[in-house]
């Protein structure tokens, strides 16, 4: 039986502070994603596109952002409802949901849809940023910096605001990999709540293989599925220039591929979202092609 996959395009960029991520899904498709999936033996069960909702002026929060204000929140919630429905349909059809963003706020809809089916979901996030700001702590009001807070029930906006969603993600089964750019309040909260994290310091010291082994143990303990969030800014900008916010000192090409190959070998990955490919900042679709390669690694592609 051929493996089934559902590709869900979410060209949404209102959760970020600059244009370009809304073109991420198209860029990844143009970089040969479907051909690569078919070469891996996947049957593309369903292709769908979540059209971005219009943002109303009353939805924009403070005009210049700022601590305590959130921009485009109503649009993010509308997008999240649509993404949740698409993801839920895919899981119900026993198809692997692959969500292509868009900015990091797209992950919220993926989490919401998955919690309709998984009573305890493990999450492994590759991201330079923790995304655990809240409405009160966000410095610029961008929801892409709140995605994990929404999933964990830390912010006022939670998965419960998306109809049909299950319980918040348990902090005991969340792992953050590749961190290197955090707000002071995020750093304090992660440590106080004992969220599992492996910054670039830990990766350098331990090696990516040991990091992934521990991540699988944490995300897989008592869970019925493991979701992978891949924010492409986890990669070093020398490898992936086309991201919303470049942070030097990230994962190398081989570290990223090896990490996702190890996840694939576990046989426990049940869904994935890929975000923050900024087509306007990319160099000849270099970052999009790298993202496609990383997707195929987590889906089982090997050199031999």
pLDDT in tens, 5-46: 999 999 999 999 889 999 999 999 999 999 999 999 999 988
Q: Using an 8 Å Cβ cutoff, are 103 and 21 in contact? A: yes
Q: Using an 8 Å Cβ cutoff, are 102 and 186 in contact? A: no
Q: What percent of the chain has pLDDT over 90?
A: 90
Provide the greatest CA pair distance for the chain: 54
- What is the spatial distance between Cα 258 and Cα 297, in angstroms, rounded to a whole number? 8
Res. 55 pLDDT band, cuts 50 70 90: low
CA angle, residues 259, 289, 44, in degrees to nearest 5? 85
Structure tokens at 65: 């952002």
Mapping DSSP onto H, E and C, the string for 58-96 reads HHCCCCCCCCCCCCCHHHHHHHHHHHHHHHHHHHHCCCE
The answer on pLDDT for 281 being more than 70 is yes
Q: Using an 8 Å Cβ cutoff, are 246 and 233 in contact? A: yes
Res. 2 pLDDT band, cuts 50 70 90: confident
The answer on pLDDT for 57 being more than 50 is no
Pairing relationship of beta strands 121-126 and 174-179 according to DSSP bridges: parallel
- What is the spatial distance between Cα 198 and Cα 200, in angstroms, rounded to a whole number? 7
Helix runs in 94-183, H state only: 106-114, 147-152
Structure tokens at 4: 């089934």
Helix runs in the chain, H state only: 24-30, 33-39, 73-92, 106-114, 147-152, 184-192, 200-206, 208-220, 253-266, 286-298
Does the N-terminal peptide bond of residue 102 adopt cis geometry, omega within 30 degrees of 0?
Answer: yes
Residues in contact with 63: Cβ distance below 8 Å, sequence separation at least 6, in sequence order: none
Torsion angle of the four alpha carbons 244, 249, 252, 258, in this order, in degrees rounded to the nearest 10: -100
Res. 59 pLDDT band, cuts 50 70 90: low
Is 52 buried (19+), middle (13-18) or exposed (0-12) by CB count in 10 A?
A: middle
Q: Using an 8 Å Cβ cutoff, are 245 and 129 in contact? A: yes
Q: What is the DSSP letter of 102?
A: S
The answer on pLDDT for 65 being more than 80 is no
- What is the spatial distance between Cα 220 and Cα 103, in angstroms, rounded to a whole number? 26
- What is the spatial distance between Cα 128 and Cα 182, in angstroms, rounded to a whole number? 8
For range 80-101, the mean pLDDT: 98
Res. 66 pLDDT band, cuts 50 70 90: low
Helix (H, G, I), strand (E, B) or coil at 230: strand
- What is the spatial distance between Cα 107 and Cα 14, in angstroms, rounded to a whole number? 13
Bridge partner residues of 97 (DSSP): 6
What pLDDT digit, counting tens, does each position of 108-153 carry?
Answer: 999 999 999 999 999 999 999 999 999 999 999 999 999 999 999 9
Q: Using an 8 Å Cβ cutoff, are 126 and 256 in contact? A: yes
Q: Compute φ and ψ for 95, nearest 5 degrees.
A: -115, 145
pLDDT, residue 209, reads: 98
């Amino acid at each position: 039986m051929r493996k089934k996959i559902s590709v869900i395009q979410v060209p949404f960029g209102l959760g970020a502070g600059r244009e370009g991520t809304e073109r991420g899904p198209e860029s990844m498709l143009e970089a040969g994603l479907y051909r690569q999936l078919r070469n891996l033996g996947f049957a593309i069960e369903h292709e769908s596109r979540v059209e971005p909702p219009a943002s109303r002026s009353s939805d924009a929060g403070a005009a210049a952002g700022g601590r305590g204000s959130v921009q485009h929140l109503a649009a993010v919630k509308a997008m999240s409802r649509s993404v949740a429905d698409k993801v839920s349909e895919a899981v119900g059809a026993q198809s692997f949901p692959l969500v292509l963003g868009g900015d990091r706020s797209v992950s919220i809809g993926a989490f919401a849809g998955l919690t309709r089916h998984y009573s305890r979901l493990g999450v492994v996030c590759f991201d330079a940023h923790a995304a655990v700001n809240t409405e009160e702590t966000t410095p610029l009001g961008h929801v892409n910096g709140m995605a994990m807070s929404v999933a964990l029930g830390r912010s006022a906006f939670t998965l419960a605001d998306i109809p049909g969603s299950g319980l918040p993600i348990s902090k005991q089964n969340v792992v953050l990999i590749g961190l290197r750019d955090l707000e002071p309040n995020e750093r304090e909260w992660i440590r106080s709540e004992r969220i599992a994290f492996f910054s670039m310091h830990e990766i350098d010291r331990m090696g990516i293989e040991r990091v992934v082994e521990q991540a699988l143990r944490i995300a897989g303990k008592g869970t019925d599925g493991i979701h992978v969030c891949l924010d492409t800014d986890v990669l070093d900008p020398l490898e992936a220039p086309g991201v919303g916010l470049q942070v030097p000192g990230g994962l190398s090409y081989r570290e990223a591929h090896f990490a996702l190959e190890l996840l694939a070998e576990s046989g426990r990955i049940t869904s994935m979202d890929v975000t923050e490919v900024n087509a306007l900042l990319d160099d000849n679709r270099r970052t999009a092609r790298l993202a496609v390669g990383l997707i195929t690694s987590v889906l089982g592609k090997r050199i031999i």
